[in-house]
Structure 1
Amino acid sequence: MDDLVDGFGRRFHYLRLSVTEVCNFRCTYCLPDGFKKTAPLTFLTPLECERVVRAFADLGVSKIRLTGGEPSVRRDLAQIIARTAAVPGVSKVCITTNGWNLERQIDVWRQAGLTNLNVSIDSLDREGFRRITGHDRLPAVVAGLDRALELGVPAVKVNGVLMRDTAEDGFADFVEFVRERPVAVRFIELMRTGDNAEFFADQHIPGTVLTNWLTERGWTPRARAFDDGPAVEYVHPDFAGRIGLIAPYAPGFCDSCNRLRITARGQLRLCLFGELGVGLKDLLEVDAPEALQARILAALAGKPAGHRLHEGNAGDTRQLAQFGG
């Protein structure tokens, strides 16, 4: 079945499922003061995660990304991966992680059915990494990524936030990083959220800084797959990996939107930078697949054409850990 089409003709094959709001890093652009508990930590259970994945898979979604917060703070993450991987129609089971538990857990995740891994690394300079994240863990994070490559995880990517302080020197470091590694490094333009106005004003730079840098050095754009995220990736014949850009402020960024989001508390978010959400938790606590799909389809009619970041409007998104980025 392929029923997830919004009022603008966009088809949705990709679901981002947050499994926790908790994060153990203190990244300067997201949670500089660390995670603060503001409500009981009553997040979706493994069974509820499976139920929502089944509902979306029956509606044509084939790619599931487990996010947080930091998903690996959940001790039952491998169980969630396994349940997700077993759902008919799901061909890609992905995780986005800060890498804290990667070296210790990647073997278990791979055995459970993980097919795609995204690791957040904002700097390959050890001191720069510590300054941004609050933790001196870069060697362990890179070791976990290299172990994923050894295990044959089919798609391994690195996410880094594009910031003024780490831009051009960082580009050179990451290009060298992918010389021998078949890894895609994607820089994400810093986004304005409810809590980071001052940091955004100081550190935001346009993605053209990266694309111009790459083009001058012989890198060329690569074609996108139908279920890819919004990154435009560049390739070079002398390098095993790729360098990409996710540019939410670029014209037409939302035109090819192909993903929906479920929060760790069971709300359907139609846009990362929207407002409110559609509650699904009551239908996930019971086995009600038809009612669940009906509510999802009804909600999709309200998906907006695009975000309003250009107006300085981040919706009710205080920080990215809140809804899984």
Structure 2
Amino acid sequence: MRFSASSAALWLACSIGLVAADSTIDENGIKSIPLRTHNLASPYLDSAMQSRWWDFGGNTIVRADQYVRLSSDKPSQEGWLFSRVPLTATNWEIEVEFKIHGSGNLHGDGFAMWLTKQRATPGPVFGSVDAFNGLAIFFDTYKNNRPGTVFPYVMSMMGDGHAIYDKANDGKDNEFMGCSARGIRNANIPTKARLTYFQDKELKLELQYRQEGQWELCFETNDPPMLPSVAYLGFSAETGELSDNHDIINVQTKNLYNTNRGDNGRPSSPGMEKGRKAGKDRNHAPKSEGSWGWFLFKIFMFFAVIGGGYVGYTAWRAQQKRSHRF
């Protein structure tokens, strides 16, 4: 196949257009670029009954047209779903559609969302490993021993690789921030969670469970914990004597980049809620706030332009030589 310089330029323009078409910029100048390596949607599996970007195990069931069921409404089940590659973006947003439902009046135990160094390791904490390193969000539907707290309860925990989750007290002493979410189980609308992270600037969790399109702030802080530089995105669930179906329906992950010059992180909003627990003060070494994902994208496009130009020039030179022969 022969390429003219104009053909090479057209191919390059189309490639750039396809990538740009997937990205959006909101009213605050925040550009979002989908991360296909951390997205999940029906039919979930390829023709070989595998997923290119995700692993699953335990009692997990995949129904290609509906859900990835981490645990069924049966006693003593646990299952997990984890990304195969780590999430290395500096700033990101993860939106998850899930469903917690069952037939009994008594139900449990719940499911968890993970951003941790560990991956695909079964354990006693909502179906995954204890003493983890990273961030966990627990959607706890069964109250063990936590007076004064309304369940279901959604809480975050930062693990340092040594801390043990206090299961007997529903993680009371482990909590970073959290909120009650009565109505999140057996909801009549699609239930969703949206976790947004800007390094050193913001960690925010929003929930949709009361009305479609209406997001409830669960917690927010402008002093977020430092997450591991290499963290895997995952989900897990467990049931004990009581049970529920815990389904993951859709996962959308985006790399975020502030296009406003001079500030690569999201500006902190005034009066930001600290949540139930603001956590201890943290001193972080100064870090570059730019998005590595965006930086690598620009490097890729730079070499793509050079490569396209070289292909076009080589084809043009070859055509010129052939024309001089006659």
| Pairwise same-fold verdict (TM > 0.5) | no
Of Structure 1 and Structure 2, the greater helix share is in 1
Q: Which has the higher strand share?
A: 2
Q: Which has the higher contact order (CA 8 A, sep 6+)?
A: 2
TM-score (norm 2): 0.26
**TM-score, L = length of structure 1:** 0.26
Q: Which has the larger radius of gyration?
A: 2
